[in-house]
Structure 1
């Protein structure tokens, strides 16, 4: 009880309350605008948070992180366009409700499910905090190195079908982190005699380039779409009553969100997929899923909003971010000399509980705001893409320049913006680069510290926690390799069956397959040519 009272005292400051209100309302607005998303907003705000107290800066970022998914449901349901990437599954059942004249019901149900998922997650983690305080001291340099390595591997294998390129991008991020002065003997690495590389490549410059500036390029090069909005009638409280009729789906989905949020590199997509699949398989009306099922909408929205609070566990307990947004928050800790990890739970437990209480209050504020302001809020969907692109580009360069008053940083941010733009157009992930930079630095420091006590290779895993983490790494790699081999085997079997078919139908399907592959190759080459023309136009 004393711990909670101390955390409440931290949150009673006027600047913390203002930051919480601004973050929660601003996050909803950002989420409701298709094409922006929380990563862009957090990247732009990062330089400003460095001058704030840690609790104030983190409260603003947490507000945007936790509330953007609420706002992302609005365009997903009304115009079949997810406001944030994690709201893509919301369109499956949300938009069909709108199509049959039930937009108010769909929005109200999405808000209620998101609120339940967020509250459930925070309560679980407040109750779990004392356990974390006892487990955290078991992690030394070896254990944190193994945990960071496990997180990096999970991030790579989570990109199914793109694991190789994700691994290459993660290694590129690790390489970027090594540029400049190395952390022990302070010798120059990969600077090639260039003074501007002596201080290394700033993480915030890379973040703003890959996420904010690249998204501005996308918005500037895409054409504006005419949006036809659906008029809302009636109250918005219906979803709270309807959610109470599906406690099993909501409870299981929230549990999936909490569990998946605590695993680095997994996040909202896996939690949503597992929740949606469970809800469909256990439903009495599985045929309604994808056609306006209330259970499907509850599963998707509950799971994705249960993740943000859970994602703070590896960040706070071990100093290991599981995704790009928590990696950005980690930089706020470092700027203010607040080191996440075992010491944080031992010495500043009230600070940790204050962050969780902030998330609790955030969900209440967002729900009240949306229940009364949705009719006015939906107008932000009409903002033109190119106007947004100009605003994001301007704010991004202002933020980059304010870091060190360096024009060189602006040039580097623009270069990473072009790289991010190319990655977006090729549908390749940029997150592994950021996590490679963050986790690479952690792994290097902890490995050097651990090697002072290691005489033989097996000494590295001679402690229980380190050995368990090592086994998890082996299991994850083995499962991924088996899954890849299985996919290849199934593909070969399908090709063999098609080739061996002597029926006219089989021959026809084989010819169609070859024709499809040929046409697909032409489309890929045309897309690449179009991309090159757009890059040329940028210059």
Structure 2
């Protein structure tokens, strides 16, 4: 009880309350504008949070992170355009509801599902907090190094089909982190006698370039679209009643979101896919999925909103971000000399609980705001792309320059902005670069500290947690290698089938291998009965 009271005392300040309101409302607005997204907003606001208290800055960023998915459901449902990337699955069933004249029902169901997922996630974290406080001290330098390595590997293998380029981009991020003075002997690395590189490349400069400036370039080079929105009639409270009729789908989807959120590199997309697949396979009406199914909408929105709070677990317990947004938040901790990890749970448990309570309040504020202000919010989706791009471009350069009043930082941010623009145009991932920078620095420091007591290679994994993490790394690599082998095998079979499908012998061979359907096989036999009997020796 004393812990909760001390946590409430941290939150009972006017600046924290203002941060809660600004974060929740601002996140909804950002999410409702297609093409911007929380990563861009957090990147722009990041320099401003450095001058705030840790709880204030983190509350603003958490508010944008968590509430943007609420707002992203608005354009996904009404105009079939996801406001944020993770709302893409919402369009599958949300927009078909709008097309058949039920936009109010779809939005209400999306809000209530998001609220349920967010609340369940935060409650789970509050219940897990005592366990985390006991487990966190078991992680020493070697364990944190292995956990960071596992995080990078998970991020790479999560980009299935692009794992090679994701690994190369993560390596590029690790290389960027090494530029400047190394952390032990302070010798220069990769500076090429350039004084501006001696202090290294700032993470915020890279973040603003890769996310904010690149998105500004995308918006500026895209054409404005005329958007027609659907008029809403009636209230928006019916979704809570409909959600109560599907408790199994909602609870399982929230569970997927919590579990996937705690695993670095996995995130909302995997949680949504698993929950949506589960809901479809266990539904009494699976044919409705993709055509306006309420269960499909519940699964998608519940899962993606259960992830943000769960993603704070590896960040707070080990100091290891699972994706780009939590990597940005990690920099706020470091600026204020608040080091996430085992010591944070031992020495600042009230601060941790205050963050959890803030997340609970944020979810409540967002739902209240949406139920009251959805109708005027619909107009936000009509903002022209080029105007948005110009605003993002201006704010990004202001944010970069405010870091150190350096024009050099602006030039470097522009360079990374062009790199990010090229990667987006090629549909290549950006997140591995940021996580490579963040986790690469952690791995270097922890590896040097851990190797001081290592005499033989096996000594590095001679403790239980280290051994478990090492085995997890091996298992992930083996499973990924197996998936790659199976994908290549199926690709070769598909290419061979495409090459030989038109031949008579090939059609017969496909049937014998089970590649063709029975109906196709009967048609082939009927058309070529004589040749079929001769080839099989049945004449």
> TM-score normalised to the size of structure 1?
0.93
Distance 2:172 2:22 in 1: 36
For residues 512-531 of structure 1, what are the structure 2 equivalents within 5 Å? none
SS at match of 1:52: coil
Q: Which residue of 2 aligns with 1:115?
A: 115
Q: Which residue of 2 aligns with 1:294?
A: 294
| Deviation of 1:498 (Å) | 3.4
Q: Which residue of 2 aligns with 1:160?
A: 160
Q: Which residue of 1 aligns with 2:532?
A: none
> Which 5+ residue runs of structure 1 have no aligned equivalent?
511-539
| Deviation of 1:367 (Å) | 0.3
Q: Which residue of 2 aligns with 1:526?
A: none
Does the CA contact (< 8 Å) of 1:315 and 1:321 recur in 2?
yes
| Deviation of 1:174 (Å) | 0.1
Distance 1:111 1:343 in 2: 37
Distance 1:246 1:464 in 2: 41
Render the CA deviation track for 1:29-55: whole Å, top value 9, x for unaligned. 000000000000000000000000000
| Deviation of 1:501 (Å) | 3.7
SS at match of 2:311: helix
Q: Which residue of 2 aligns with 1:263?
A: 263
| Deviation of 1:3 (Å) | 1.1
Distance 2:241 2:497 in 1: 52
Render the CA deviation track for 1:182-217: whole Å, top value 9, x for unaligned. 000000000000000000000000000000000000
Distance 1:184 1:283 in 2: 58
SS at match of 2:170: helix
Distance 2:505 2:31 in 1: 48
- Report which of the two structures shows the higher radius of gyration computed on alpha carbons: 2
Q: Which residue of 2 aligns with 1:403?
A: 403
Q: Which residue of 1 aligns with 2:482?
A: 482
Render the CA deviation track for 1:194-253: whole Å, top value 9, x for unaligned. 000000000000000000000000000000000011000000001010000000000000
Distance 1:104 1:461 in 2: 56
Does the CA contact (< 8 Å) of 1:498 and 1:506 recur in 2?
no
Alignment partner of 1:429 is 2:429: yes
| Deviation of 1:503 (Å) | 3.8
Distance 1:493 1:421 in 2: 36
Alignment partner of 1:495 is 2:488: no
For residues 194-233 of structure 1, what are the structure 2 equivalents within 5 Å? 194-233=194-233
Distance 2:164 2:504 in 1: 38
For residues 356-505 of structure 1, what are the structure 2 equivalents within 5 Å? 356-501=356-501, 503=503
| Deviation of 1:502 (Å) | 5.2
Does the CA contact (< 8 Å) of 1:133 and 1:346 recur in 2?
yes
Q: Which residue of 2 aligns with 1:352?
A: 352
Q: Which residue of 2 aligns with 1:528?
A: none
| Deviation of 1:492 (Å) | 1.4
Distance 1:90 1:2 in 2: 41
Render the CA deviation track for 1:285-310: whole Å, top value 9, x for unaligned. 00000000000000000000000000
Alignment partner of 1:176 is 2:197: no
Q: Which residue of 2 aligns with 1:533?
A: none
Q: Which residue of 2 aligns with 1:188?
A: 188
Segments of 4+ moved more than 6 angstroms: 504-507
> TM-score normalised to the size of structure 2?
0.93
Task: Quote the RMSD (CA, aligned, Å).
Answer: 1.1
Does the CA contact (< 8 Å) of 1:24 and 1:64 recur in 2?
yes
How many residue pairs are counted as aligned between the two chains? 508
Does the CA contact (< 8 Å) of 1:318 and 1:340 recur in 2?
yes
Q: Which residue of 2 aligns with 1:16?
A: 16
Does the CA contact (< 8 Å) of 1:44 and 1:395 recur in 2?
yes
Distance 1:501 1:85 in 2: 38
Distance 1:248 1:502 in 2: 48
SS at match of 1:452: helix
Q: Which residue of 1 aligns with 2:56?
A: 56
Alignment partner of 1:37 is 2:2: no
Structure 2 vs 1, CA of residues 189 and 498 (structure 1 numbering), >3 Å: closer, same or farther? same
Render the CA deviation track for 1:36-80: whole Å, top value 9, x for unaligned. 000000000000000000000000000000000000000000000
For residues 246-325 of structure 1, what are the structure 2 equivalents within 5 Å? 246-325=246-325
Distance 1:205 1:303 in 2: 32
Does the CA contact (< 8 Å) of 1:75 and 1:381 recur in 2?
yes
| Deviation of 1:504 (Å) | 6.5
Alignment partner of 1:245 is 2:224: no
SS at match of 1:186: coil
Distance 1:209 1:487 in 2: 35
| Deviation of 1:506 (Å) | 6.9
> Which 5+ residue runs of structure 2 have no aligned equivalent?
511-539
Q: Which residue of 1 aligns with 2:26?
A: 26
Render the CA deviation track for 1:306-344: whole Å, top value 9, x for unaligned. 000000000000000000000000000000000000000
SS at match of 2:245: coil
